[in-house]
Amino acid sequence: MKMIIDGKEIIADENQTILEAALANKIYIPHLCYHENLNHSGGCRLCVVEQEGVGGVVTSCSTKVAEGMVIHTKSDLAEKVRKLSVDLMFKTHPSECTGCPKYGKCQLMSISQYIGDTGRSLRDLKIRIGADESNPLIHHEMYRCILCGRCVRACDEMRGVGALKYDKVNGRLQVVVNGSSLSEAGCRFCGACVEVCPTGSIRDKVGVIKEGVSREKALVPCIDGCPANINIPKYVRYLREGKYTEAAATVREKAPFPEALGYICTHDCELACRRNHINGAVSIRNIKRYAASQDDGSWKVHSFQKPETGKKAAVVGAGPAGLTAAYYLSKLGHEVVVFEKLPQAGGQMAYGIPSYRLPREVIQKEVAEVTSGRVKVEYNSPVTSAKDLLEQGYDAVFVAIGTHEGLRLPLEGNDLKGVYINTEFLREINLGNHPEIGERVVVLGGGNVAVDCAGSALRLGAKEVHMVCLEAEDSMRASEEEVAWTKEEGIQIHNSKNFERIVGEDGKVAGFEMTSVKSFYFDETGKAVLDKVPDSLETIDADTIIFAIGQRPAVTEEFGLKLGRGNRIEVDEKTTQTSIPGIFAAGDAVTGTASVIKAIAAARKAVSQMDIYLGGDGYIEEQLASVQEPEGRIGNWKHYAELERTEPNVASAESRCHNFDLMDFGFDADKAHCEADRCLQCDLRARIAPQRFWNDYIPTESKEVQNG
């Protein structure tokens, strides 16, 4: 329908209000209590306008448009009412803006600057009350509140929670928790109240929201924390709804090894999970693992496959990065040949991670899926020169050789019989061999690989296993979960220790000497600078020593690529191309030992660049799961904050220490659903319309006129 606003004829939808029609046509009408995701209230009186044929003013946010309606937004009466409304708001609001954490991002400040005030001095009615810190995520300062009602309405209308209400406190109307506590009020910690608050009254606590990133990354930290940016809230929600195949498909959109990741992912997403601020992160990895175990393959009908391009790509290494690259290169239409020097695919998943942590059948199943298309894998086929592959007719080469060469420190006794290197030790076990070890084993290192070496030594029959590491207990690189399991198995961990020497007797390992360290740091060359504790030398009797202090790519200059620190392959950060055009690299061989999920993410980036190099568009995104429209009204849940993290089913230490059978069984359906319920659904907040200011609506030329 047609109507006129400030002399301009516009077309409006019959379901719109005057305010909505005006804003849609870039005509700004001041407003504060209005929010496009909330029902209209008209309480702030800032959006008043004059309507021809109607006496006085009307609130534009609650008045529907009509055919032929003539509206004046800047009449003297409308301006007078707005200025008075601003005056009344500042009666209770602090007049000093520069000290407010929301300074420069406050809608009240912006609107007051746009409207001005009446110039009258009204009696000060400031609310003298301290900040409410009871919410672990949200800071509430009632004295900054202007009673616009957005927070109360958002909690009720958007979320169906009703954890906030108006109530009189000491004779003054305030926004308070609707119960004796947040827990009793059923707060779901969704952040909707923060998102709609126009002032600094309700805001995120410092440290809860990541600074310097996009709004979506800041509001949904688990996705940002995942190296592959998997849509975690989406698959957790699908699992909660019992749609397991949809959940698995969501993971597979970004990672072709969803079930393996469910066992061994380093779950960076959990470190970023906002529930950490309440009572521990959601067990995202175990939820993913259960969903992936229920995958029926129905996602395949949605998977893309481009026509053959006639281009041929070689992939060196059949680990997570190499197989990910091969998978997507094949889908992009290129012929792919993978060269693997070992007899099986999987890389560190197959040769570096013990079978009691990651079953071989899971690896084999997912490798088979990845290579089921136009991917040829040549096993027992080491490549000595990447450049030679180009000369053999390949149009591009992807190098993903991992870090399969363990490091041996230059300690006295490092060449004695009974000394092993982490990579060799674990590889022998995973090849089905049985490395000869003694009864007393010392593992040097404090990361996850060291934990795997220690656990494997115990399962091979060692009666006494020690781990010695430079880091303090709270700084160990191994995950807290793995450290706890290690201690359960009786493995002794010696923290804050420096390695002095390996004691030998008759050419064999006889013990290990170490000293205590107060503190340490690494200088610019990477050398550790230690502050040792005087007279703290200790000796551990041992007949086997395993170095697990790091690893690097097993590559030399003969491979033909420029190498950097730690023998890592140097690449262009943007294109992932190496020193030779047409040869790309990613994964641990470039970054150093990281994680499977980081290798997958790096390979996806490299594949996109390789496809562009080969003449394609580099686009590898696909939608394997259906579009999800989440229900915003999540409902009230009393004592929601007290839902404890669900622990996986794990074999007892006594039953698992003497074999390589699977020890962590993950979740069953009930546990998976219980844990999925703990998800705060942070992505719902990102779906709330962001706050806008008057200059978001006014055309550039009008701004210039207004600014004079």
Q: Show the 3-state SS of 221-232.
A: HHHHHCCCCCCH
Strand partners, 334: none
Assign residue 60 the CATH number of its domain. Answer: 3.10.20.740
Specify whether the CB–CB gap between 600 and 255 falls below 8 A.
yes
Q: What is the mean pLDDT of residues 369-397?
A: 96
315-346 tens-digit pLDDT: 999 999 999 999 999 999 999 999 999 999 99
Residue 561: strand, helix, or coil:
coil
Please state, as a whole number, how many other Cβ atoms lie within 10 Å of the Cβ of residue 254: 22
- Whether residue 533 sits in one domain with residue 428: yes
Residue 657 domain-assigned? yes
Specify whether the CB–CB gap between 325 and 337 falls below 8 A.
no
Residue type for position 697: Y
Assign residue 460 the CATH number of its domain. Answer: 3.50.50.60
Residue 439 domain-assigned? yes
Report residue 501 CA to chain centroid gap: 41
Domain final residue, candidates 173, 204, 235: 204
26-82 tens-digit pLDDT: 999 999 999 999 998 888 999 999 999 999 999 999 999 999 999 999 999 999 999
Report pLDDT for 704. 47
Q: What is the mean pLDDT of the chain?
A: 94
In this prediction, residue 92 has a pLDDT band, given cuts at 50, 70 and 90, of: confident
**Count: domains in the chain:** 5
* Cα–Cα distance measured from residue 260 to residue 248, given in angstroms and rounded to the nearest whole number: 12
Angle CA 455–456–458, to nearest 5: 65
Q: CB neighbours of 529 closer than 8 A, spacing ≥ 6?
A: 520, 521, 522, 523
Angle CA 552–555–560, to nearest 5: 140
- Whether residue 509 sits in one domain with residue 378: no
Residue type for position 363: I
Domain final residue, candidates 204, 238, 258: 204
* Cα–Cα distance measured from residue 254 to residue 415, given in angstroms and rounded to the nearest whole number: 44
Q: Which of 258, 235, 259 is nearest to 247 (CA)?
A: 235
- Whether residue 415 sits in one domain with residue 477: yes
The token pair at 679 is 């998800």
Residue 275 domain-assigned? yes
- Whether residue 523 sits in one domain with residue 569: no
- Whether residue 283 sits in one domain with residue 308: no
Strands 164-169 and 172-177: antiparallel
413-428 tens-digit pLDDT: 999 999 999 999 999 9
Least confident of 177-181, 413-417, 693-697: 693-697
Report pLDDT for 708. 45
- Whether residue 575 sits in one domain with residue 509: no
Please check the confidence at residue 702 and state whether its pLDDT lies above 70.
Answer: no
Report pLDDT for 90. 82
Residue 108 domain-assigned? no
Strands 419-421 and 544-547: parallel
Q: Is the dihedral of CA 591, 595, 601, 603 positive or negative?
A: positive
Report pLDDT for 185. 96
Residue 628 domain-assigned? no
- Whether residue 475 sits in one domain with residue 539: yes
Q: CB neighbours of 606 closer than 8 A, spacing ≥ 6?
A: 321, 325, 398, 576, 584, 585, 586
* Cα–Cα distance measured from residue 27 to residue 22, given in angstroms and rounded to the nearest whole number: 5
- Tokens 């000293």 map to which residue? 515
* 321-335 burial: b if 16+ Cβ within 10 Å, else e: bbbbbbbbbbbbbbb
Specify whether the CB–CB gap between 362 and 263 falls below 8 A.
yes
Residue 349 domain-assigned? yes
Q: What is the mean pLDDT of residues 178-200?
A: 95
The token pair at 704 is 């210039």
In this prediction, residue 703 has a pLDDT band, given cuts at 50, 70 and 90, of: very low
* Cα–Cα distance measured from residue 49 to residue 306, given in angstroms and rounded to the nearest whole number: 57
- Whether residue 601 sits in one domain with residue 532: no
Q: CB neighbours of 252 closer than 8 A, spacing ≥ 6?
A: 258, 295, 299, 624
In this prediction, residue 123 has a pLDDT band, given cuts at 50, 70 and 90, of: low
pTM (two decimals): 0.93
- Whether residue 544 sits in one domain with residue 462: yes
Specify whether the CB–CB gap between 453 and 465 falls below 8 A.
no
Assign residue 257 the CATH number of its domain. Answer: 1.10.1060.10
Please check the confidence at residue 613 and state whether its pLDDT lies above 70.
Answer: yes
Report pLDDT for 41. 85
Residue 703 domain-assigned? no
Strands 396-399 and 312-316: parallel
* Cα–Cα distance measured from residue 370 to residue 323, given in angstroms and rounded to the nearest whole number: 7
Residue 694 domain-assigned? no
Specify whether the CB–CB gap between 9 and 3 falls below 8 A.
yes
In this prediction, residue 494 has a pLDDT band, given cuts at 50, 70 and 90, of: very high
Query: Which structural domain range is residue 372 located in?
Result: 304-404+553-614
* Cα–Cα distance measured from residue 70 to residue 5, given in angstroms and rounded to the nearest whole number: 6
Angle CA 71–72–74, to nearest 5: 155
- Whether residue 510 sits in one domain with residue 427: yes
Specify whether the CB–CB gap between 91 and 124 falls below 8 A.
yes
Strand partners, 501: 412, 513
- Whether residue 519 sits in one domain with residue 450: yes
> What would the 3-class secondary structure string for 155-189 be?
HHHHCCCCCEEEEEECCEEEEEECCCCHHHHCCCC
In this prediction, residue 88 has a pLDDT band, given cuts at 50, 70 and 90, of: confident
Strands 48-51 and 58-59: antiparallel
Domain final residue, candidates 43, 76, 91: 91
- Whether residue 250 sits in one domain with residue 294: yes
Q: What is the mean pLDDT of residues 337-356?
A: 97
Higher pLDDT, 349 or 91: 349
Q: What is the mean pLDDT of residues 238-261?
A: 97
In this prediction, residue 98 has a pLDDT band, given cuts at 50, 70 and 90, of: confident
